[in-house]
């Protein structure tokens, strides 16, 4: 797939975008959830460089289990009162001829920022819309989320995204 993404400003289409997480505990328990409130946008410059920001409202995490959601939003995990947002600041996005996009940036969770690089798949692109799909892992310990009672919650958290951006007027 060879495409050229148009220069200009791009806005996240919140109705067509999702950010989900999955974390497997020691046994068969799997916590899955979706951030209901996601916003963002970016810019493709004339020289082809890409910058942008994706923002997740931490209080909008929904795992379909009220007690778990309350705990995940508390101080042991996301601490939404103190840290209402998770952000990913895109520093570069390089499109390969095969439709893969290498995305580099900085992920900030609980006020701690770490570099994050992953590969996304350009699943749709035209002059007015771009859709990227990605799955990558995050080590929650790097962001101060270290609760691991009885060794049950170790390992990485898998993040799965579908992000649709639409071109906006300058």
pTM: 0.89
Mean pLDDT by 10 residues, the chain (170 residues): 74 97 75 95 92 97 92 89 97 89 96 96 91 94 71 74 91
Residue 85: which residues within 8 A CB-CB, separation 6 or more? Answer: 55, 56, 57, 58
Q: Which residue ranges form the domains of the chain, and what is each CATH number?
A: 8-168 (2.40.128.110)
Kindly state the tokens that stand for 73.
Answer: 């939003």
């Amino acid at each position: 797939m060879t495409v050229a993404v148009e220069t200009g400003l791009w806005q996240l289409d919140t109705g067509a975008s999702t950010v989900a997480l999955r974390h497997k505990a020691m046994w068969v328990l799997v916590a899955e959830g979706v951030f209901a409130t996601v916003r963002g946008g970016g810019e493709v410059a004339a020289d082809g460089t890409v910058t942008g920001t994706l923002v997740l409202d931490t209080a909008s995490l929904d795992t379909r289990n009220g007690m778990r959601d309350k705990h995940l939003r508390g101080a042991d995990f996301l601490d939404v009162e103190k840290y209402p947002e998770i952000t990913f600041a895109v520093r570069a996005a390089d499109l390969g001829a095969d439709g893969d996009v290498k995305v580099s940036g900085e992920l900030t969770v609980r006020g701690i920022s770490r570099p994050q690089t992953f590969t996304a798949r350009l699943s749709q692109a035209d002059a007015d819309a771009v859709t990227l799909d990605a799955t990558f892992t995050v080590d929650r310990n790097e962001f101060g989320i270290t609760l691991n009672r009885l060794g049950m919650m170790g390992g990485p958290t898998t993040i799965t995204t579908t992000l649709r951006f639409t071109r906006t007027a300058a």
